[in-house]
């Protein structure tokens, strides 16, 4: 579902606010998380903000979800020997704060245990 104002990630995609970009193509962008919870903490974000969470993305565009996962795998292969966690927070009660679907790629020792 679209929102009326651009998400923070849409502003990053549009280069209206800065971010450290680690990968990008026509469908996704990957950036360093501004508040990393692990030695590797990258966000893989579809460029469309049509989908608020992973359930909506899976239902609406499974090919794009597969591309998000493949991008996460490539980044983890390059930076963490392919050993990583892939987290999609879904809903406020689960800690989601940005309602523009994104995958957290986490590798290395997590801060304070294992949850974001």
Task: Report whether 1 contacts 56 (CB < 8 A).
Answer: yes
Minimum distance, C-beta of residue 27 to ligand 5GP, in the bound complex (Å): 19
- DSSP collapsed to 3 states, 7-40: CHHHHHHCCCCCCCEEEECCCEEEEECCCCCCCE
Catalytic position from the list 41, 67, 100, 102: 102
- When the beta carbons of 82 and 91 are compared against ligand 5GP, the nearer one is 91
8 touches ligand 5GP by CB under 6 A: yes
- 44: DSSP letter: E
- Contact region for ligand 5GP (CB under 6 A) — 32-40, 44-52, 54-62, 72-80? 32-40
Per DSSP, the three-state class of 41 is strand
Site string for ligand 5GP, 44-83 (x = CB under 6 A): ----------------------------------------
Residue for token digits 């974000």? Answer: 45
93 touches ligand 5GP by CB under 6 A: no
- For residue 104, give the H/E element and its range: strand 103-107
Query: Could you tell me the two tokens for 110?
Result: 């997590």
Minimum distance, C-beta of residue 77 to ligand 5GP, in the bound complex (Å): 22
7 touches ligand 5GP by CB under 6 A: no
Residues annotated as catalytic are 102
């Amino acid at each position: 579902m679209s929102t009326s104002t651009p998400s923070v990630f849409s502003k990053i995609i549009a280069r209206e606010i800065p971010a450290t970009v680690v990968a990008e193509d026509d469908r996704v962008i990957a950036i360093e998380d501004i508040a990393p919870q692990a030695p590797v903490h990258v966000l893989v974000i579809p460029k469309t903000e049509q989908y608020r969470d992973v359930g909506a993305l899976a239902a609406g565009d499974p090919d794009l979800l597969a591309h998000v996962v493949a991008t996460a795998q490539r980044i983890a292969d390059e930076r963490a020997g392919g050993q990583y966690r892939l987290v999609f927070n879904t809903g406020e009660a689960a800690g989601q704060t940005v309602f523009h679907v994104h995958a957290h790629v986490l590798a290395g020792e997590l801060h304070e245990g294992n949850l974001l």
